[in-house]
Amino acid sequence: MTTKTNPFNVLGQLAALRRYARSLVRNPEDAEDLVHDTLVRALERKSSFRSDGSIRNWLLSILHNTHVDRLRRNRSLERRHREAGDMAELVSPAGQDHSVRLSQVREAFLDLPDDQREALHLVAIEELSYQEAATVLNIPMGTLMSRISRARASLRAMEGGEDEKAVPRLRIVGGNPDDQP
């Protein structure tokens, strides 16, 4: 019900929204989630409500469209999971040596000091330029380059042991191959 003073009386329509949501999803918890999402959408799109229109019809329409969107999203998600499962059967799992090696590299990366790990992550994994990474970290670019250099040297030392002259087998992603010893 709308009033002349407040045509956007959403609270007055909660009972109707809950009834309709329960008839659509047949589960009280899912119905409450659907009503919640409907109210969020309604508030986000409040400017599209015509004050001379029926708030009840408008909200029921939003609820219905939200429900249809959820159904489509769930079907799409199920299809993607099914396709991923089909692909997983074609891919052989990584060997134990590879898994152990990956775990060692991950641990070495996580053992880096915070400032070095942050800098290397932004450049090597997030693929930010040095300037962008320096801006994100709010540090001078020279400081960023120094941190990245020290981080790469630490990872190389882990890979080749403590022998600085050892030929590294670990390729540092995002690094310049000329920087490696």
Number of domains forming the structure of the chain:
2
Looking at the structure, tell me whether residues 37 and 75 fall in a common domain.
yes
From 85, 37, 82, 83, select the one nearest 62 (Cα to Cα).
Answer: 37
CATH number at residue 68: 1.10.1740.10
Looking at the structure, tell me whether residues 85 and 156 fall in a common domain.
no
As a whole number, mean pLDDT of residues 122-139 equals 90
In whole angstroms, what is the distance from residue 86 CA to residue 24 CA? Answer: 32
Higher-confidence position of 65 and 172: 65
Looking at the structure, tell me whether residues 50 and 121 fall in a common domain.
no
Residue 17 has pLDDT above 50, yes or no: yes
Looking at the structure, tell me whether residues 100 and 171 fall in a common domain.
yes
Model confidence over 55-99: pLDDT tens digits?
A: 889 899 999 999 999 999 999 999 998 888 777 767 666 677 777
CATH number at residue 130: 1.10.10.10
